[in-house]
Structure 1
Amino acid sequence: MALHALRRRFVDAPDSWGARRRARRWLWFADKFPDLRDMTVLDLGGRIDTWERAPFHPKHVHIVNLEGEQIGDGNGVPEWGEVSRGDACNLPEEIRARRYDVVFSNSVIEHVGGHERRLRFAEAVRGLGTGYWVQTPYRYFPIEPHWIAPGMQHLPNRVKQTLARRWPLSHTPAKDMATALENVLWTELIDKTQMRHYFPDGTFHNERILGLTKSMISYRPV
C-alpha cells in the first residue's frame, strides 16, 4: 500500500515529480515547433486524451493506434481531433497517402516488436511528415520506466514475467502470468546507437536525470 502511495506521489499525481517532467517535455516540444497551433500532427500510437490534457494542441491531431478508439473522459473526440485504428508499422493506404506537418510519437517505438518493425515504424515517421518528434526511454537508465523496477530490462524473461505480474509499482499490473509475459515480450527498450540508426536525419537530444540519460528524443524541425 505504501508503495502505491509513493508511486502516485512521484509519478501519477497531477502535481507529482513525473507530471512536472512531462509538462517540461511539452514545453520543450512546443519550443521546437513554435507554429504548432497552426499545424497538422499525426500521432502514431498515442491517445487523444493525452492531447486534451496538454497545455496546447495543434490545429488538427490525427491519432492512429491499434485500439482505434478514444481513451479519455468519455466526452468523445474534440473537433480538432481524429482517431483511426491502424498499425503504425503497416499503415493503411488512406493514411499513407496523407501528409502532415509533424509526426509525433511518445514511448511507442519500444513496443512495436523487433528491429524490422522498428525500421518500418521509423520509415512512416520520416516519410509522412515535414517534421517529426519521437521520444523513447533509454535502455541503460537504471530504472525500467514501465514497471519502475531497478534493472528489470536486463533480467531473464522468466524473472521479468514474475516482476510484471507482482511488482507493485507497475503502470498496468498484469491480471495473470500469461498477460505478464505478453507485456514483457512487447517491451524492448533501445539504446542511442539504435535511435540514431532509425532516425539518421534527426537531431538527437538526451533527457537527463542527475546526469544520466533517462530518455531519448529525435526530432526534425519543420
Structure 2
Amino acid sequence: MSRLNALRSRFVDAPDSLGAKARARRWQWFAQRFPDLSEMSVIDLGGTAGAWLRAPVRPAHVQIVNLEKPPANLPPWLKADVADACDLPAAILGTKYDLVFSNAVIEHVGGHLRRQLFADAVHHLADRHWVQTPYRYFPVEPHFLFPGFQYLPIAARTSLLRRWPLVHTPTSDRDAARNIVMEVELLSITEMRHYFPSSQIRFERLAGLVKSVIAIRQG
C-alpha cells in the first residue's frame, strides 16, 4: 500500500479510521432514534447488503433498492432489488414499510427534479425516515478527500480527479473522470429542508463544523 493510499485508509476506510468511527456513532444515533428497530421492516434506498451485514443494528427485515446487482445468498432478513429509487416499480410503491433509510445517496441521483422524486418516494413508502447526506459547505469534499473540491469548475475537478491519489476509485480516463465528478451534487441545509419539510433536520459535526445533514421523521 502506498503512503497516500495508507493515508486514505487512515481517514476513511480502515476499521479504526475517522470515517469508521463516524459511521459507528451514526449507527448508534440511528438506533437511539428508533428503539424498536429490531421489530421494523426497513427499505433502504441506495444502500448495499454489505453495509447492513456489517452494521451493529439489525431490523426485522431490510429491503435494499440499488442500481447494482446484489450479491447472492443473502440471509432471510435481507432482500435486494435492482431498481431506480427515483422511479420505483409498482410492487415496491405498493408496499408499506415501517421506515425508509438512506445514507449518502440523494446527492448522487442527478439534479433537483430527481432529488424531488427521491424525496417523494421517501414520504410515500413510510411515515418514518432517516435520510443522511454530506453537507455541501464542509471544507473537505468527502467523496474525493480534497479541500474545496465541490467549489471548483468541472474542468478543474476532472483534471484533479485524474491525478489525486486519495479518491476511492482512481481513473486516468478524462471522460470517466468527468462522469464521476458530475455525478456528485452535494446539498445544502436549505435544500434538505425543502425536500423534507416535515422532518427534523439534524447535523453531524466534525471539529465543530457541520459534516453531514440528516432528515429524521419518527412518525
SS in 1 for 2:127: strand
User: Structure 2: how far apart are the matches of 1:97 and 1:30?
Assistant: 27
User: Structure 2: how far apart are the matches of 1:9 and 1:76?
Assistant: 31
Aligned to 1:19: 20
User: Structure 1: how far apart are the matches of 2:160 and 2:77?
Assistant: 40
2:187 is aligned with 1:190: yes
C-alpha distance 67-175 of structure 1, shift in aligned 2 (>3 A): farther
Q: What are the Cα deviations for residues 142-191 of structure 1, in whole angstroms up to 9, with x where unaligned?
A: 00000101100000001111122221110222352211111111100010
Mean Cα deviation higher: 172-181 or 183-192: 172-181
1:33-48 map, 5 Å = 33-48=34-49
2:95 is aligned with 1:98: yes
Mean Cα deviation higher: 4-13 or 211-220: 4-13
User: Structure 1: how far apart are the matches of 2:178 and 2:197?
Assistant: 32
2:201 is aligned with 1:200: no
1:76 Cα offset (Å): 2.3
Aligned to 1:32: 33
SS in 2 for 1:139: coil
User: Structure 2: how far apart are the matches of 1:142 and 1:207?
Assistant: 14
SS in 2 for 1:184: helix
Unmatched tracts of structure 1, length 5 or more: none
User: Structure 1: how far apart are the matches of 2:38 and 2:85?
Assistant: 24
Cα pair 2:40 2:59 within 8 Å, conserved: yes
Aligned to 1:63: 64
2:83 is aligned with 1:82: no
1:47-196 map, 5 Å = 47-70=48-71, 76-174=73-171, 176-196=173-193
Unmatched tracts of structure 2, length 5 or more: none
1:211 Cα offset (Å): 1.3
Paired amino acid for 1:2: R
Runs of 4+ in structure 1 deviating by more than 6 angstroms, as ranges, are none
Paired amino acid for 1:54: A
Task: Calculate the TM-score normalised by the size of structure 2.
Answer: 0.97
Task: Calculate the TM-score normalised by the size of structure 1.
Answer: 0.95
Paired amino acid for 1:91: L
Q: Percent identity at matched positions?
A: 55
1:124 Cα offset (Å): 0.3
SS in 2 for 1:100: coil
User: Structure 1: how far apart are the matches of 2:127 and 2:191?
Assistant: 22
Paired amino acid for 2:207: L
Mean Cα deviation higher: 175-184 or 141-150: 175-184
Cα pair 1:68 1:86 within 8 Å, conserved: no
User: Structure 1: how far apart are the matches of 2:161 and 2:73?
Assistant: 32
Paired amino acid for 1:34: P
User: Structure 1: how far apart are the matches of 2:63 and 2:204?
Assistant: 26
Cα pair 2:96 2:126 within 8 Å, conserved: yes
User: Structure 1: how far apart are the matches of 2:17 and 2:86?
Assistant: 34
Cα pair 2:163 2:172 within 8 Å, conserved: no
Mean Cα deviation higher: 160-169 or 100-109: 160-169
SS in 1 for 2:116: helix
SS in 1 for 2:162: helix
1:6 Cα offset (Å): 1.2
